[in-house]
A = this chain, B = another copy of it.
Amino acid sequence: MAEPLKRLPALPIERALKVISGRWKAVILFHLFDGSKRLSELTRLLPDVSQKVLIQQLREMEFHGLVHREIFRQVPPRVDYSATPLGLSLEPFIMSLCEWGRRHASELGDADELSDCALANACERVSIRSS
């Protein structure tokens, strides 16, 4: 994002999709729903993402109002990332999308290709929780 000033699409649906669809954004958000995290924690939680890309995704989400960035002037430095209310408002949405993704995989016969981890099973936990 050399130019974070570029406008989001004018159609609400496109705007929403644009804001949440980055390679790692949903996964990052999922972890932030759990509470604020330091960059180094996120690096550990997402070992497949390089630091540069991680920061890039976080900055875009910060710019789009989904994530709050708080700097603690210490040595060594410390920066906390957390979900804003707007970001938190995506939680039910991300969970139901996750559920839809599982349905989609099962209807297309790809269910066995799904990974099995906290995020993959998040929607189950949610439906158990809410039942």
Which residues of A pack against B, CB within 8 Å?
A: 7-8, 10-17, 19-21, 26-27, 30, 64-65, 86, 89-90, 93-94, 96-105, 107-108, 110, 113-115, 117, 119-120, 122-123
Please name 16 pairs of A and B residues whose Cβ atoms are closer than 8 Å in the assembled complex, sorted by A. A8-B105, A10-B113, A10-B120, A12-B114, A13-B26, A14-B26, A14-B27, A15-B101, A15-B105, A15-B114, A16-B100, A64-B108, A65-B104, A86-B107, A89-B103, A93-B100
Main secondary structure, interface of A, reads: helix
Chain copies in the assembled complex? 2
What 6 additional pairs, Cβ within 8 angstroms, besides A12-B104, A13-B97, A17-B20?
A: A12-B99, A13-B94, A17-B26, A21-B21, A86-B107, A89-B100
Q: Do A11 and B97 form a contact, CB below 8 Å, given A64-B108, A104-B19?
A: no
| Min distance, Cβ A81 to any Cβ of chain B, angstroms | 19
| Min distance, Cβ A106 to any Cβ of chain B, angstroms | 10
Interface centre among A12, A110, A113, A123 (most CB of B within 10 A): A12
Flag if A7 contacts B113 (CB, 8 Å): yes
Flag if A96 contacts B97 (CB, 8 Å): no
